[in-house]
Structures are given as C-alpha cells and as structure tokens.
Chains A and B, each alone.
Chain A
Amino acid sequence: QKEVEQDPGPLSVPEGAIVSLNCTYSNSAFQYFMWYRQYSRKGPELLMYTYSSGNKEDGRFTAQVDKSSKYISLFIRDSQPSDSATYLCAMIPPYGNKLVFGAGTILRVKS
C-alpha cells in the first residue's frame, strides 16, 4: 500500500463548477499537508499549506484536513479554464526531511 493515494483522473468539469480533489494517507505521523499545482511543462508550485486538522481558505481555494480519517481535500470554487493543471498532494511529519507526494490528479476545466 502506498503511503499516499491520489486518483490520477483526469477529472473534467465545466467552467464554474466546484471541484473536489482528494488524497488518503496511511501514516498518522503526518502533520503538515500541502497542495501543489503543476501546469504543463512546468515545475510544481505550492498552492495551499495546512498544519494538522481543519480548514484553510485562500480565495477560491479551500484545503481541508481530516486526520481522524487520514483524508485531505482541496476544493476549488467557480473553477476557471486557467485552473486546468495537475494537482499534487504532499505531506510530511514533524522534523521530517522528505515530502511524500501523491501521484497527482489531472484537472481539466472546459469553457
């Protein structure tokens, strides 16, 4: 079993839809959770960062962590064609030195 599971998609939605991207994990030591966005032919860039359980909102993006279920989500409201990218979840325990990444979900937002 992989430490982090993420559905690779692709996920195709119409413009304006609410998108839900998810990851599950097995290591209860993970405390820091991130979402990276990767456009085609570019390096990943940090989109959202949360510590422990709870929600964090930034504009149209909301990151949610449920440590009891070992489940994290990224919600995108009013999705735009410019949101079309691969979204990777990542996590690390305290004092860790390596992020553990999900496989990435390909998102396509159609206008």
Chain B
Amino acid sequence: NAGVTQTPKFRILKIGQSMTLQCTQDMNHNYMYWYRQDPGMGLKLIYYSVGAGITDKGEVPNGYNVSRSTTEDFPLRLELAAPSQTSVYFCASLDRSYEQYFGPGTRLTVT
C-alpha cells in the first residue's frame, strides 16, 4: 500500500492565484482530513470528510474548498491565495481503530 499520497510537494503561488492540492489514499478509509501546520502552532483542521459526497468544515475553513467524489481522493482547493495561507498542508485518513495516517505534506508559499 502507498498509504496517503499528496502532490505537489512544494509550490510557490502569487497572491490571488488558485491551486488544488491533491490527496489520495489506498486504504479504503472513509474518513479523510486536511490540516495546516504553522511553526509552533500544531495542526489546525481545515476540512474533513466522513465518506464520499460528505464534507464538513474544521477550525479554519475560510479561503479553502474541498470535494469528495470518491473514497480515495480528497482534493483541497485554494481560491485567491493570500500570504496568510503560507503553510505546510497535510492530508490524513483515519482507520476504524482511530489510527490516523498522514501524507508527506505540501509546502506552500504565497508571495
């Protein structure tokens, strides 16, 4: 199993541009999550999904959108990028024993 994979690994965006962060898991987990991690600030939940077609907001959803058309994929969309969205983004999935599996992260810089 590849686990949770994320693309791209790095990206630099200009203010106002848009992009989609891709996330795929091959473990057939229903629950998937997007977090952002800023230095010294821990993980903040952006959006999560409990299954295909179902998504919900986390702590910091403003400026982001998600969709979940399949069990495997959970892309995160940034519209009108702002410097405050400079961060490391982690996608994760959760199995039935509550173990959370994380992807390797996407480092995003908005200038």
Chain B residue at smallest Cβ distance from A33: B98
B45, B94, B99, B104: which contacts A43 (Cβ < 8 A)?
Answer: B104
Contact with A along B96-111 (1 / 0, CB 8 A): 0111111111000000
Q: Is the CB of B90 within 8 A of A43?
A: yes
- Interface residue count on the A side (C-beta < 8 Å): 23
Q: Which residues of A contact B90 (CB under 8 A)?
A: 43-44
- Chain B residue numbers with a CB within 8 Å of A98 are 33, 45, 48, 58
- CB-defined contacts of A97 to chain B, threshold 8 Å: 31, 48, 50, 94
B2: A residues at CB distance < 8 A: none
CB-based contact B43/A88 at 8 Å: yes
Residues of B within 8 A of A (CB): 4, 31, 33, 40-43, 45, 48, 50, 58, 90, 92, 94, 97-105
CB distance from A15 to the nearest CB of B (A): 25
Q: Is the CB of B100 within 8 A of A90?
A: yes
Q: Is the CB–CB distance between B40 and A103 below 8 Å?
A: yes
Query: Inside 8 A of B102's CB, which chain A residues have their CB?
Result: 43-45
Whether the Cβ atoms of A101 and B42 lie closer than 8 Å is: yes
Tell me if A8 is interfacial: C-beta within 8 Å of chain B.
Answer: yes
Q: Residue A88 contacts which of B42, B98, B101 (CB distance < 8 angstroms)? A: B42
Q: Which of B43, B99, B101 contacts A101 (CB 8 A)?
A: B43
